[in-house]
Structure 1
Amino acid sequence: MEKLVSMIAEMGLPFAYDHFVEGESPEPPFLCYLIPGSDNFAADGKVYHRGASVHVEIYTDKKDLAVEKKVEDVLDAHEVFYNKSETWIGSERLYEVLYIFGWEA
C-alpha cells in the first residue's frame, strides 16, 4: 500500500484514508481514498492474483477541471485504468468526483 499512498501524495492535495476527523477537514479541494473491497483474479477455484478495488474521491466547492486533470495525469503516469463519476452533495455543498480502479495488493 505504500506505493498507492505515494501515488496519491503525487496528486498534490491534502488526503486521508476514508475521511478526515470531524472538524479537521481542510478547505477544498481535498481528497479521500479507500479500499472498499478486493479485486482478485481466480483460477482453479483459488485466488491466483490478489488485487484491491480503490476509490479516490476529490471534493471541491466548485467544478475544478484543473484539479481533475492533476489527478488524472498522475493516474495516467502510473498507467492506472480508472472509471470516473461525479455527484453534487447538497448537504455538504461539495462536488465529489470519484475515480475507481484496481490495484495490485
Structure 2
Amino acid sequence: MTLEDLKTRCKNAGFQYAYGVFKNSVEPPHLIAICRDTDNFMADNKVYSKDIPVQLDYTYIDKDTEMQNKIENEILGDIAWNKTEETYLSDEEVWQVSYFFEI
C-alpha cells in the first residue's frame, strides 16, 4: 500500500480524509494520516527496505461501530495494524482513536 492507496481507500469507504491537516475546517467524523519516523532496513550505507510507519487518526463525535469496522475491514483489512484506546479530547469536544501500521 502507498499513501495514495490509503487516500483512495479512505475516500471509497466514505470518509473525509487528509494527510497532515485539512486545508479547510471540517466536521467529524474524519481521518487524518501522518507518517512517523521511518524504520528502514540498511546495510553498507544503503537502504534496502523502506518501511513507513503511519498513524491514522479517526476523529468523531458519536460512537459509530459501523464506521470503525469500515476502517478496520475495508481500509486496513489486508495489513497488520494496532490501535489506541478511545480518547476524549475535551478542548475540541471530540473522540479520537489512532491506528498504527506500516506501508
TM-score range, shorter chain: 0.7 to 0.9
1:53 aligns to what?
A: 53
Q: Which has the higher strand share?
A: 1
SS at the partner of 2:13?
A: coil
TM-score (norm 2): 0.83
What percent identity do the matched residue pairs reach?
Answer: 33
Q: 1: distance between equivalents of 2:25 and 2:15?
A: 12
Q: 2: distance between equivalents of 1:50 and 1:61?
A: 35
Equivalence map 1:1-105=2 (5 Å): 1-21=3-23, 24-43=24-43, 46-74=46-74, 75-76=76-77, 79-85=78-84, 86-103=86-103
Tell me which stretches of 4 or more aligned residues in structure 1 moved more than 3 Å: 42-46
Structure 1 residues not aligned, in runs of 5+: none
Q: 1: distance between equivalents of 2:50 and 2:35?
A: 13
TM-score (norm 1): 0.81
